[in-house]
Amino acid sequence: MQVVILADGAAVADYGAKVFKQQIAQKPNSVLGLATGSTPLALYKRLIAAYQAAELSFAQVKTFNLDEYLGLAPEHPQSYRAFMQQHLFAHIDINPEHTYVPLGAAADPWQACMDYEQLILNVGGIDLQLLGLGRNGHIGFNEPTSSLQSRTRIKTLTAQTITDNARFFKAGEYQPHLSITMGIGTILEAKKIMLLATGSAKAPAVQALVEGPLSAVCPASALQLHPQAIVVVDEAAASALQHQAFYRHVAKETAALYQRSQRQP
């Protein structure tokens, strides 16, 4: 696992956008795994700006989102489909038929989970998976105690996740307590994974995922098993890490190595 510590949230978004742009430049028909929440927003703004500046095109790209609230139709303003449409898809040249989000309003949600797994297999898997990080260590909606080999499935949200996400719902508005999410096993099959985390509230979860034991209690710790996982954090989110100096040293030496070899990281 590579840990990159940057000054602030803006630098984290810049770094993340650079990784996405490199991925699309190297493989224009990339399959991208996407995330919702507050952390990816700055990254998506940078990708939109890069598209508007004609620096990249999403015309051949396919996307798969991590999760969706169970029971919300795609047009519901609090659905993750609506979130992606508002904050990314409507502003780039991606084919709408190539943007996949779990069907939260499916008549048979269990079948929808199996269908989602098959869709990912049909396109050859995900090339680059973006992750955020919950304060309790969740990735996607894989809450603590989730199986590290889990597949796309229905999950019950913890009280903390419900509370954290309540700010997106109006007073009195129905807030789902269930979701459809890619499983941890599904996420780990991506060829490359990039997790972004910012702010001091995420510091304990960052420390657990990087330096804690591999444990279902911290679902994000499963990234320790992945050969190409990168964790990009700001100073505040890195504040609980015990080996910051080493991570900075590794990042410096890795950058120098790639510069000498003239290869992209």
Q: How far is residue 76 from each of residues 11, 123, 259, measured CA to CA in Å? A: 32, 28, 47
- On the question of pLDDT at 19 being above 90, the answer is yes
Average pLDDT estimate for 153-158: 93
Q: Kindly indicate the confidence band of residue 176, based on its pLDDT and cuts at 50, 70 and 90.
A: confident
Q: What residues contact residue 236 under an 8 Å CB cut-off, 6+ apart? A: 198, 199, 200, 202, 203
Average pLDDT (94-101) is 98
pLDDT score recorded for residue 109: 96
Residue 121 has pLDDT above 80, yes or no: yes
Average pLDDT of the chain, as a whole number: 95
pLDDT tens-digit profile of 181-192? 999 999 999 999
Residue 8: band (very low, low, confident or very high) from pLDDT cuts 50, 70, 90: very high
Name the phi and psi angles at 148, rounded to 5.
-75, -5
Residue 257 included in any domain: no
Amino acid 158: pLDDT: 86
In a domain, 60, yes or no: yes
Mapped to the 3 state alphabet, what secondary structure does 162-195 carry? Answer: HHHHHHHCCCCCCCCCEEEECCHHHHHCCCEEEE
Q: Is residue 2 part of a domain?
A: no
| Total domains, the chain | 1
Identify whether 241 is part of a domain: no
Mind listing the pLDDT tens digit for each residue in 127-155?
999 999 999 999 999 999 999 999 999 99
Residue 247 forms part of a structural domain: no
At 29 the three-state DSSP class reads coil
Residue 170's pLDDT is 78
The CATH number covering residue 121 comes to: 3.40.50.1360
Position 171 in a domain? yes
Q: Is the pLDDT of residue 159 over 90?
A: no
226 lies in a domain? yes
Q: pTM for this one?
A: 0.94
Considering the chain, what percentage of its residues have pLDDT values greater than 70? Answer: 98
Burial bucket for residue 192 (CB in 10 Å: 0-12, 13-18, 19+): middle
Domain range spanning residue 49? Answer: 12-190+203-231
**Residue 219: both structure tokens together:** 């679902």
Q: Are 194 and 19 in contact (CB under 8 A)?
A: yes
What pLDDT shows up at residue 264? Answer: 63
Nearest to 48 by CA among 13, 73, 77: 13
Does residue 137 contact residue 221 with C-beta atoms inside 8 Å? Answer: yes
**Which pLDDT tens digit goes with each residue over 31-82?**
999 999 889 999 999 999 999 999 999 999 999 999 999 999 999 999 999 9
Instruction: Report how far Cα 56 is from the mean position of its chain's Cα atoms.
Output: 20
pLDDT category at 262 given cuts 50, 70, 90 is low
For the segment 190-208, what is each residue's pLDDT rounded down to a tens digit?
999 999 999 999 999 999 9
What pLDDT, on the 0 to 100 scale, is given for residue 265?
Answer: 62
pLDDT tens digits for range 218-252: 999 999 999 999 999 999 999 999 999 999 999 88
Q: Is residue 138 part of a domain?
A: yes
- Dist CA 217 CA 208 (whole Å): 10
Catalytic residue positions, numbered: 67, 136, 138, 143
